[in-house]
Amino acid sequence: MAHDVSVSQQSGHGPAPAQTSNVDAFRAQMASKGWMVFRDVLDEAFCRQLIDEQEQATRRCREIQERNGVVNRMEGTSHHLVVFEGAFIRFLEELPLHDYLTAYFDDGPYILNSFGGVINFKSKTSAYVGAVHRDIRSWSGDLHLMMNMLVMLDDFTEDNGATWFLSGSHKYAEKPSDEEFFARAERALGPRGSIVLFNSNVWHAAGINHTDRPRRGLTPMFTKPFFKPQFDFARYFGDERGAGFLPHVAQLLGYNARIPATLEEWYQVPEKRMYKPGQG
């Protein structure tokens, strides 16, 4: 089931608001299926920019993977793309579907857990994303700890490996067998610029690309602020750079949910604490 939503991209002005009726429909579908497709969210020009920068970042990640001996099942993958800045920082500045993310996290704040990318090449099944999996290590049941986002930078079709989702599988902890999964799973189909939001408890798998063209996507993940992110973005960028981010980008990068490392940092009035009030 696709849900059509129009989200305008306004550089530097923050996320665009969603209609209340759309958010209500989203809540209902997330409760039942655990995932939803939003069509035509990003415009063509921004998709092209993201594609170009994803390809550059993937090459740089591959160099590090090869240098450190972690090439197994990593082809076409890239991780923590925010460190490459450019279009990826712009994506956070204009964060699409912000109201839906907020609704999922019980109308509370959230942070960026990771920001990866996947290029699905023809007939390649070796990358880890092709296995049936979910992206939260421990099943969280009705507690909304993590939300996945899948950004379609190409049309997602049955031929080029559109992602499989097992609707309703967020409701139980046990992993289905591959036979059960592929007998019941559905494909997330959509044109370039569409986005999938899904409960991180949902079992899913990338499909096999049978075409001669790569199928590219981005995979940001978001969590409640007290959930440990996969990458310390705030430490990477530092305090001086952090002061220059838009407030909601600083929130996403974890600047408001940091852990003190000295007693001097610990003993601070609320407005100066590293873990700010209101973060859950």
CB within 8 Å of 219: residues ≥ 6 apart: 114, 115, 116, 117, 118, 148, 149, 150, 151
What the block records as the tokens of 116 is: 């990866």
> What are the phi and psi torsion angles at 105 (to 5°)?
-90, 35
Percent of the chain at pLDDT exceeding 70: 93
Q: Which residues pair with 2 in a beta bridge?
A: 37
How many C-beta atoms lie closer than 10 Å to residue 267's C-beta?
A: 10
Q: Residue 114's pLDDT is what?
A: 97
State which amino acid sits at residue 179: E
Q: Given this model, what pLDDT does residue 1 score?
A: 39
Residue 15's pLDDT is what? 80
Q: Which residue from 41, 37, 36, 45 is spatially nearest to 6, judged by alpha carbons? A: 41
Which residues, in sequence order, are bridge partners of residue 191? Answer: none
What pLDDT does residue 123 have?
A: 64
pLDDT of residue 254: 98
The three state secondary structure string of 184-231 is HCEECCECCCCEEEEECCCCEECCCECCCCCEEEEEEEEECCCCCCCC
Non-local CB neighbours of 48 within 8 Å, separated by 6+ positions: none
Q: What is the pLDDT of residue 12?
A: 45
Whether 162 contacts 156, CB under 8 Å: yes
Tokens read off for 125: 């099944």
Pick the closest to residue 135 from 220, 65, 218 (CA basis): 220
Closest CA to 89 of 248, 226, 227, 239: 248
Q: Give the residue among 61, 108, 87 at the shortest CA–CA distance from 280.
A: 108
Q: Residue 43 corresponds to which amino acid?
A: D
pLDDT per 10-residue tile (average), the chain, 280 residues: 43 66 93 97 98 97 93 87 98 97 96 96 68 92 96 96 96 95 97 98 94 96 97 96 96 97 94 91
Residues contacting residue 70 through CB under 8 Å, at least 6 positions apart:
none
CB 183 within 8 A of CB 137: no
- The count of residues in the chain is 280
User: How far is 118 from 249, CA to CA, in rounded Å?
Assistant: 23
**Domains, in order of start, for the chain:** 2-272 (2.60.120.620)
> The tokens of 57 are what?
């970042």
